[in-house]
Amino acid sequence: MPKIYFKMESRIRRIGVLTSGGDAPGMNAAIRAVVRSAIFYHCEVVGIRKGYTGLVERQFMGMQSHSVSKIISQGGTILKSSRCPEFNDPHVRKVAVENMREAGIDALVVIGGDGSFRGANDLVKEFDFPVVGVPGTIDNDIYGTDYTIGFDTAINTALEAVDKLRDTADSHNMVFFVEVMGRDAGFIALHTAIGTGAEAVLVPEYPTNIKKLCDYLLNERRKNKTSGIVIVAEGDEAGGAMEIAAQVKRRLPDYETRVTTLGHIQRGGSPSCADRVRASILGHGAVKALLDGRKGVMVGLINDKIEYTAFDLACSRHNEINKYWYDIARILSI
């Protein structure tokens, strides 16, 4: 039996939970963890549909333990998500807080990315409303945690897809430029490249030199490598996979090149075991944080331990890919 953290002096009796911004596999596991933990610590839970939009429109629903049965294996979010640009307006945020207070919601868990945490931070600063964040995004770029919920599933989805593309690349002596997600960060690209043994990886963190890439591909061919996989992060400063493939083709016209953009399949699907476990630990950590009187923080996992990082910090910095891992990706592709 886990230690019971519930403090009798805690004034939190009803906790709201929402998912906001881009969906990520494992968000449901986080919702489940929040609901079950809150009930365990004798709190009620209100699910808010469609992220901040639901706060403004009072899309509230009571949640019980059975409300989250069997969702741990489902991708997406049962609470739905949204982008809510109106939330940038303080008057709209005031309505959101009034709605929560009227519904007896004492505290809120926001599962989302750094954009969602900016909105959450406003609720804490402007209205002293207790909010704790859970990092849910496939990009893995949020400061204050080693892993965000959804990242592991996304890289496994990308890995499976690239393994399949390799078969065609090999059969037809082609070079595939595969674009993966990750916004301005190269985490998905780097992990996918190492995991698939790609010939090259282009990430936003380091400058892309097309001439060097072409020299490298030529050298590969001299070594009788018949196919090539180049992983391109969508945020690479030299452009997406389409643009980079075109530039390579201009320099190496006799190369058979193909472009595949993996796109949103990386955000879907049943979450991996690692994402389910992380989401469960983080979701519980968020409830515990609120009951311990914390607010304005994001719950993260650093070296497998729960750590809390102020929203101010989590929103002003980004996690960065490991340069050493990037170098290893290059070493292993010789």
Residues carrying an active site annotation: 139
> Is 22 among the residues that bind ligand ADP (CB under 6 A)?
yes
> Is 138 among the residues that bind ligand ADP (CB under 6 A)?
no
Work out the end-to-end distance of the chain between its first and last CA atoms, rounded to an integer number of angstroms.
51
CA-wise closest residue to 36 among 7, 64, 71: 64
Binding region for ligand ADP (CB under 6 A) out of 84-92, 168-176, 184-192, 261-269: 84-92
* The two structure tokens encoding residue 138: 């496939």
Q: Which is nearer to ligand ADP, 92 or 238 (CB)?
A: 92
CB of 295 to ligand ADP, least distance (A): 16
> Is 122 among the residues that bind ligand ADP (CB under 6 A)?
yes
Rg of the chain on CA atoms, in Å: 22
What is the spatial distance between Cα 80 and Cα 100, in angstroms, rounded to a whole number?
18
Contact 151, 183 (CB under 8 A): no
CB of 323 to ligand ADP, least distance (A): 25
Q: Which is nearer to ligand ADP, 122 or 199 (CB)?
A: 122
Contact 38, 15 (CB under 8 A): yes
Going through 224-276 in order, the beta strands assigned E by DSSP cover 228-233, 256-261
Phi first, then psi, for residue 129 (nearest 5°) are: -90, 130
Contact 132, 299 (CB under 8 A): yes
Q: How many residues bind ligand ADP (CB under 6 A)?
A: 18
> Is 21 among the residues that bind ligand ADP (CB under 6 A)?
yes
84, 165, 175, 185: residue in contact with ligand ADP (rule CB under 6 A): 84
What is the spatial distance between Cα 239 and Cα 149, in angstroms, rounded to a whole number?
27
> Residues 152, 297, 300, CA angle at the centre, nearest 5°?
25
> Is 83 among the residues that bind ligand ADP (CB under 6 A)?
yes
Binding region for ligand ADP (CB under 6 A) out of 81-89, 201-209, 260-268, 322-330: 81-89
Contact 283, 33 (CB under 8 A): yes
Binding region for ligand ADP (CB under 6 A) out of 16-24, 32-40, 189-197, 306-314: 16-24
Q: Which is nearer to ligand ADP, 35 or 149 (CB)?
A: 149
Q: Which is nearer to ligand ADP, 184 or 243 (CB)?
A: 184
User: Interface mask (CB under 6 A) for ligand ADP, residues 92-121, using x and -?
Assistant: --------------------xxxxx-xx--
Q: Which is nearer to ligand ADP, 86 or 146 (CB)?
A: 86
Q: What are residue 13's DSSP bridge partners? A: none
What is the spatial distance between Cα 47 and Cα 67, in angstroms, rounded to a whole number?
10
Nearest residue relative to ligand ADP (C-beta): 115
88, 171, 226, 322: residue in contact with ligand ADP (rule CB under 6 A): 88
DSSP secondary structure code for residue 206 in this structure: S
CB of 51 to ligand ADP, least distance (A): 6
Contact 164, 215 (CB under 8 A): no
For binding to ligand ADP (CB under 6 A), which residues are involved?
Answer: 20-22, 52, 83-85, 87-88, 112-116, 118-119, 122, 137
